[in-house]
Structure 1
Amino acid sequence: MDGIDVSQWAVSAAQALIAAMTTDLWAGARDRFAGLLSRRPDSVDEVAEELDEARQQLLDAGVTEEATEETSAEWGSRFRRALTRDPSLVDEIRKILAQQNMEAPAASGGLTQNVSATGGGIVFNQGTGTQTNQVHTK
Structure 2
Amino acid sequence: MDAELTALAAAGATALVQSMVGDGWTAARERVVGFFSRRRAAGAAGAAGGEDAVAGELDEAREELVAARDAEDADAAADVQAEWRNRLRRTLRADPEAAAELRALLAELTPADGSEGSGGVVHNSISGGVQHGNVIQAHTVGDVRLG
Instruction: Please indicate, yes or no, whether the TM-score normalized by the shorter chain is above 0.5.
Output: yes
Task: Show the counterpart of 2:33.
Answer: 34
Structure 1 portions without partners, runs of 5+: 104-138
Name the TM-score, length of structure 2 as normaliser. 0.61
- The whole-number CA distance in structure 1 between the counterparts of 2:100 and 2:3 is 13
Structure 2: give runs of 5+ residues left out of the alignment: 43-48, 115-147
Task: Give the counterpart letter for 2:58 in structure 1.
Answer: L
**2:111 maps to which of 94, 101, 105:** 101
Deviation at 1:14? 0.4
- Amino acid paired to 1:54: A
Query: How far apart, in 2, do the equivalents of 1:12 and 1:20 lie?
Result: 12
Matched, 1:73 2:116: no
1:62 and 2:73 aligned = no
1:15 match: 14
Q: Secondary structure at the match of 1:62?
A: helix
- In structure 2, how many angstroms separate the alpha carbons of the residues matched to 1:96 and 1:14? 11
How far apart in 2 are the matches of 1:89 and 1:12? 14
- Give, in angstroms, the shift of residue 91 of structure 1: 1.4
Identity of aligned residues (%): 38
- Single out whichever of 18-27 and 90-99 deviates more from structure 2: 90-99
- Root mean square deviation, CA, Å: 2.2
Task: Judge conservation of contact 1:37–1:78 (CA < 8 Å) in 2.
Answer: no
User: In the alignment, is the contact (CA less than 8 A) between 2:69 and 2:77 conserved in 1?
Assistant: no
Q: TM-score, normalised by structure 1?
A: 0.65
Deviation at 1:4, TM superposition (A): 5.1
Q: Is the 8 A contact 2:68 2:74 kept in 1?
A: no
What is the aligned length? 102
More helix by share: 2
Q: Does the 8 Å contact 2:65/2:80 carry over to 1?
A: yes
- Could you list the structure 1 runs, at least 4 aligned residues long, displaced by more than 4 angstroms after superposition: none
